Amino acid sequence: MLPATPLIILGEPLIELSSIDSTNIYAISQIMEDKAVSGSCYRADFQSQGKGQQGKVWTSEKGENLLCSYVISLSNLKKAKELTETGILNNQFGLSVAVSLAVSDFFSALAGEETKIKWPNDLYWRDRKAGGILIENKIRGTEWTWSILGIGININQTQFTSAQGKPVSLQQITGKSFEINKLVHDLSAALTYRVNEWLMGEFETMLAEYNERLFMKGQDVKFKSNQIQFTAKVMGVNKQGQLIINKGIEQTYNFGEITWEI
């Protein structure tokens, strides 16, 4: 349950865009031009240069999917000083967990319990990719000032030009067509709940939920690290955001140090 006075409400105002290079690029430009309002959601029908993790491109048919970016001014949050002193605003992985859980909450309510989170924050249904998250943070000196939460979720698209991640959409899963404008409000509500939960100091409980929903947990997976392929069992994710695997002995990897070969 949200507190009576949440520290932030996400999705207000909602800015609708027809065609844009990338909602994250647009959101960052609004921050740089001092035009961004904390909590805003920038939603686009089409992105010509949609951004994915590690410089990958996110492609989507016009008007078929949920493509948006939310912005949060961390330094202007209610109780920002107190949150910094308690260390909450030094935990960028905590925000990543909150956003991953929110997107999973949103999608599983429509697609069912086979919704999973693929480390660090891809949205999967069974063994197929249904969406992705790209969080970009702005730092001034040592202060975490802004966070941009880029989210892309496959909704009504039924044909995909790329086979990467074996994409799947909500319509393919359910056989139903969805109204994007309504869904963005549902997503905003899920994000508002989870981000406030993180700000209230519930990171450890949320991390346990994240690990319960972790894609391929307890199963053997093919990975690659330093150009070497190997098979290891997925054990979980620790407080530092590292993936824990077991290939005879337990080892931990930071994001970017290991890739999934699936």
| Per-residue pLDDT at 5 | 84
Tell whether the model's pLDDT for residue 62 goes beyond 90. Answer: no
Domains of the chain: residue spans and CATH: 14-212 (3.30.930.10), 220-260 (2.30.30)
State how beta strands 250-253 and 41-47 pair. Answer: unpaired
Q: Which percentage of the chain shows pLDDT scores above 70? A: 93
CA torsion 95→98→103→105, rounded to 10°? 180
Tell whether the model's pLDDT for residue 59 goes beyond 90. Answer: no
Mean of pLDDT values over 194-223: 97
Tell whether the model's pLDDT for residue 52 goes beyond 70. Answer: no
- Contact, 225 vs 237, CB < 8 A? no
DSSP state, residue 181: H
| Per-residue pLDDT at 164 | 65
Tell whether the model's pLDDT for residue 54 goes beyond 50. Answer: no
Low-confidence winner among 93-102, 138-147, 187-196 (lowest mean pLDDT) = 138-147
- Contact, 252 vs 237, CB < 8 A? no
Mean of pLDDT values over 75-83: 92
For 116-132, give one letter per residue: b (16+ CB within 10 A) or e. Answer: bbbbbbbbbbeebbbbb
Tell whether the model's pLDDT for residue 115 goes beyond 70. Answer: yes
Q: What is the pLDDT confidence band of residue 4, given thresholds at 50, 70 and 90?
A: confident
Three-class SS of residue 108? helix
Tell whether the model's pLDDT for residue 31 goes beyond 50. Answer: yes
Q: What is the pLDDT confidence band of residue 132, given thresholds at 50, 70 and 90?
A: very high
Q: What is the pLDDT confidence band of residue 134, given thresholds at 50, 70 and 90?
A: very high
Tell me the residue type at 55: G
